C-alpha cells in the first residue's frame, strides 16, 4: 500500500515545472515560516548516545501543562506515533475524520483495523461513534479544513470510549498556535485511553528536526516507548526540542505574529476572489471549483500551494518575509489576467 501524498515536495515540483528549487515560494505546508531559531549545539549532543532520563519528559510536561501522572513521551515526529499506535491494539473498528490528515487511516488499515470514515460535519450533532468504535482518531484542529469542536464534546467522547476500553487519539499537531484548544491542560492527558499527539514541526517550524510528543496514560505511554525502542529520538533533536519548548517568550511572540499574518492572508486571498472557509493560524483553507487552474497557474510562477480533490480545495501556508508576501500577491494578480 503506497502512502498518502503530502505538501512540501519541492524537489518533485522543481522537476515537474522545470523551476530550480531555490526559486520556489513553498506555501504547500502549514509549517511556521519563521521557526524557532536553533542555536549551535554542544559537541557532546552529537557525540554521545541520547539518554531517556535527560529531563525532556518534564520539559514536555511543563510546556503542555500535563499532570505528573501523565506519560510524556518524546517521539521522532508525531508521525512516529501515528505509525506505531495502531500496532499496540488488537484489530478493531477505528473512526478517522474525513477530510483529514491521511496518514492516520493509512496506518490503522495497515495494522489490520477496520477504518471507518467519519464526516467532519456530522461531529457537531449527537453521534454514536464513541459507543460503536474501539478507537476514535480526531485531528484538532483539522488539517486541512481547520475544523474544531468544543473541548467539552471531545471530553465526552473520551469518557464514552473509556467505558468500554476504547481510545481517543487526538492529533493536536496544529493546536499550539490556537488558544483554548488543547485537551492536555484541562483534561489532564493521564486518563485511561486518552492519547494526545503534539508536534514541533508546525508552530515551532522545526519540521526537519523530526520531534514531537505524546501525552497519554502511563500504560499506553509505556507500550509506545517500548515499541519505539532505545534512542528513537536523536540527541540533537532531544536537546533542540527541550530548548524550544522552554522558550515561552518566543512562543508568545510567534502566536501573536501568526494571528496577524493569517488574518492578513485571508484579506489578500479574498481580494483575488479566494474565500477562506477556515484553517488554522498556520494555513488557510479555500474550497474552490477550479483548484487545478489556480494551483497550476501559481506553480508556473514558482508558488507551490496544496491542492485537494475530495472535496476540491486549496490550502495556503503563510509567507514569511515582505518579499514573499509581494511574490504571492504578484502571482495571484497574474492569475487574474491569464
Ligand atoms: C495533522 C498532522 N498530524 C501529524 C503530522 C506529522 O507531523 P510531524 O511528524 O512532523 O510531527 C502532520 C504533518 O503534516 C499533520 O499534518
Chain segment 209-227, per-residue pLDDT in tens: 999 999 999 999 999 999 9
Is there a single domain that holds both residue 71 and residue 206? yes
Parallel/antiparallel/unpaired status of strands 278-280 and 283-287: antiparallel
In a domain, 1, yes or no: no
Whether 307 contacts 31, CB under 8 Å: no
Give the residue among 288, 303, 271, 318 at the shortest CA–CA distance from 174. Answer: 318
Q: Which of 75, 137, 199, 210, when mutated, tests ligand 1's pocket best, judged by the most ligand atoms within 8 Å of its CB?
A: 199
The C-alpha atoms of residue 84 and residue 111 are separated, in whole angstroms, by 9
Is there a single domain that holds both residue 148 and residue 221? yes
Q: Copy the grid coordinates of residue 180.
A: 483554548
Using a 6 Å cutoff on CB, does residue 176 contact ligand 1? no
Query: In angstroms, what is the span from residue 171 Cα to ligand 1's centroid?
Result: 8
In a domain, 2, yes or no: no
CATH number of 295's domain: 3.90.1150.10
Mean pLDDT, the chain, integer? 96
In a domain, 5, yes or no: no
The dihedrals phi and psi of 169, each to the nearest 5 degrees, come to: -100, 110
Lowest-confidence range among 8-12, 34-38, 267-271? 8-12
pLDDT at 139: 98
Query: In angstroms, what is the span from residue 6 Cα to ligand 1's centroid?
Result: 10
In a domain, 62, yes or no: yes
Query: In angstroms, what is the span from residue 142 Cα to ligand 1's centroid?
Result: 11
Is there a single domain that holds both residue 188 and residue 295? no
Using a 6 Å cutoff on CB, does residue 143 contact ligand 1? yes
Is there a single domain that holds both residue 311 and residue 296? yes
Q: Copy the grid coordinates of residue 5.
A: 501524498
Is there a single domain that holds both residue 208 and residue 241? yes
Whether 144 contacts 315, CB under 8 Å: yes
Is there a single domain that holds both residue 259 and residue 315? yes
In a domain, 113, yes or no: yes
Q: Name every residue whose Cβ is closer than 8 Å to that of residue 47 and which is 6 or more positions away in sequence.
A: none
Which class for 163: exposed (0-12), middle (13-18), buried (19 or more C-beta within 10 A)?
Answer: exposed
CA distances from 56 to 50, 211, 237, 275 (A): 11, 12, 11, 42
Is there a single domain that holds both residue 86 and residue 227? yes
Q: Copy the grid coordinates of residue 152.
A: 467539552
Which one of 194, 225, 246 terminates a domain?
246
Instruction: Give the model's confidence band at 1: pLDDT under 50 very low, under 70 low, under 90 confident, else very high.
Output: low
Give the residue among 206, 251, 245 at the shortest CA–CA distance from 76. Answer: 206
Is there a single domain that holds both residue 195 and residue 235? yes
Chain segment 279-292, per-residue pLDDT in tens: 999 999 999 999 99
Query: In angstroms, what is the span from residue 335 Cα to ligand 1's centroid?
Result: 31
Q: Which residues pair with 73 in a beta bridge?
A: 214
Atom 6, ligand 1: which residue's CA is nearest?
79
* 2 has pLDDT over 80: no
The C-alpha atoms of residue 268 and residue 156 are separated, in whole angstroms, by 39
Domain span holding position 222: 49-246
CATH number of 164's domain: 3.40.640.10
Query: In angstroms, what is the span from residue 173 Cα to ligand 1's centroid?
Result: 6
Is there a single domain that holds both residue 101 and residue 186? yes
The C-alpha atoms of residue 326 and residue 41 are separated, in whole angstroms, by 35
Is there a single domain that holds both residue 275 and residue 167? no
Query: In angstroms, what is the span from residue 141 Cα to ligand 1's centroid?
Result: 12
Whether 173 contacts 198, CB under 8 Å: yes
Atom of ligand 1 nearest to the CA of 78: 11
Count of domains observed in the chain: 2
In a domain, 202, yes or no: yes
Neighbours of 56 (CB within 10 A): 23
Whether 30 contacts 282, CB under 8 Å: yes
Which class for 70: exposed (0-12), middle (13-18), buried (19 or more C-beta within 10 A)?
Answer: buried
Average of per-residue pLDDT across 88-110 = 97
Query: In angstroms, what is the span from residue 79 Cα to ligand 1's centroid?
Result: 6
The residue whose grid cell reads 494551483 is: 295
Whether 160 contacts 127, CB under 8 Å: no
Which one of 192, 216, 246 terminates a domain?
246
Is there a single domain that holds both residue 271 and residue 151? no
Using a 6 Å cutoff on CB, does residue 173 contact ligand 1? yes
In a domain, 287, yes or no: yes
Instruction: Give the model's confidence band at 53: pLDDT under 50 very low, under 70 low, under 90 confident, else very high.
Output: very high
Using a 6 Å cutoff on CB, does residue 79 contact ligand 1? yes
Is there a single domain that holds both residue 163 and residue 235? yes
Query: In angstroms, what is the span from residue 199 Cα to ligand 1's centroid?
Result: 7
pLDDT at 185: 80
Chain segment 242-264, per-residue pLDDT in tens: 999 999 999 999 999 999 999 99
Q: Copy the grid coordinates of residue 215.
A: 501525552
Using a 6 Å cutoff on CB, does residue 171 contact ligand 1? yes
Instruction: Give the model's confidence band at 188: pLDDT under 50 very low, under 70 low, under 90 confident, else very high.
Output: confident
Q: In which region does residue 257 sit, left (phi positive, over 0), alpha (psi from -120 to 50) or beta (all else)?
A: alpha
Instruction: Give the SS3 label for residue 135.
Output: strand
In a domain, 271, yes or no: yes
The C-alpha atoms of residue 181 and residue 61 are separated, in whole angstroms, by 17
Question: Which segments of 21-171 are extended strands (E)?
Answer: 25-26, 71-75, 93-98, 114-119, 135-139, 167-171
How large a percentage of the chain has pLDDT more than 70?
A: 99
Atom of ligand 1 nearest to the CA of 200: 11
Tell me the CA end-to-end span of the chain in Å, nearest whole number. 39
pLDDT at 59: 98
Whether 238 contacts 230, CB under 8 Å: no
Atom of ligand 1 nearest to the CA of 29: 14
Atom of ligand 1 nearest to the CA of 143: 1
Amino acid at each position: 500500500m503506497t502512502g498518502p501524498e503530502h505538501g512540501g515536495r519541492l524537489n518533485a515540483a522543481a522537476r515537474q515545472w522545470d523551476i530550480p528549487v531555490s526559486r520556489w515560494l513553498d506555501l504547500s505546508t502549514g509549517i511556521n515560516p519563521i521557526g524557532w531559531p536553533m542555536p549551535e549545539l554542544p559537541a557532546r549532543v552529537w557525540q554521545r548516545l541520547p539518554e531517556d532520563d535527560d529531563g525532556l519528559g518534564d520539559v514536555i510536561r511543563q510546556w503542555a501543562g500535563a499532570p505528573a501522572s501523565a506519560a510524556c513521551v518524546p517521539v521522532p515526529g508525531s508521525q512516529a506515533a501515528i505509525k506505531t499506535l495502531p500496532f499496540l491494539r488488537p484489530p478493531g473498528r477505528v473512526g478517522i475524520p474525513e477530510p483529514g490528515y491521511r496518514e492516520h487511516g493509512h496506518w490503522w488499515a495497515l495494522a489490520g483495523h477496520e477504518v471507518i470514515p467519519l464526516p467532519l460535519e456530522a461531529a457537531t450533532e449527537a453521534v454514536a461513534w464513541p459507543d460503536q468504535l474501539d478507537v476514535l482518531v480526531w485531528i484538532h484542529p483539522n488539517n486541512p479544513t481547520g475544523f474544531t469542536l468544543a473541548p467539552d464534546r471531545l471530553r465526552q467522547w473520551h469518557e464514552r470510549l473509556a467505558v468500554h476500553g476504547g481510545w481517543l487519539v487526538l492529533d493536536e499537531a496544529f493546536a499550539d498556535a490556537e488558544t483554548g484548544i488543547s485537551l492536555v491542560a484541562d483534561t489532564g492527558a493521564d486518563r485511561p485511553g486518552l492519547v494526545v499527539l503534539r508536534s514541533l514541526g508546525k508552530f515551532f517550524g522545526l519540521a526537519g528536526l523530526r520531534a514531537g510528543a505524546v501525552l497519554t496514560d502511563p500504560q499506553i505511554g509505556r507500550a509506545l516507548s517500548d515499541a519505539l525502542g532505545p534512542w528513537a529520538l536523536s540527541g540533537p533533536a532531544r536537546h533542540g526540542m527541550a530548548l524550544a519548548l522552554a522558550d515561552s517568550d518566543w512562543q508568545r511572540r510567534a502566536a501573536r505574529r501568526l494571528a496577524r499574518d493569517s488574518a492578513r492572508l485571508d484579506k489578500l486571498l479574498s481580494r483575488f476572489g479566494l474565500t477562506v472557509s477556515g484553517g488554522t493560524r498556520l494555513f488557510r483553507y479555500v474550497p474552490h471549483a477550479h483548484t487545478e487552474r489556480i494551483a497550476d497557474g501559481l506553480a508556473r510562477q514558482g508558488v507551490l500551494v496544496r491542492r485537494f480533490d475530495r472535496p476540491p480545495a486549496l490550502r495556503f501556508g503563510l509567507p514569511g518575509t515582505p518579499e514573499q508576501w509581494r511574490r504571492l500577491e504578484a502571482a495571484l494578480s497574474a492569475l487574474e489576467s491569464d
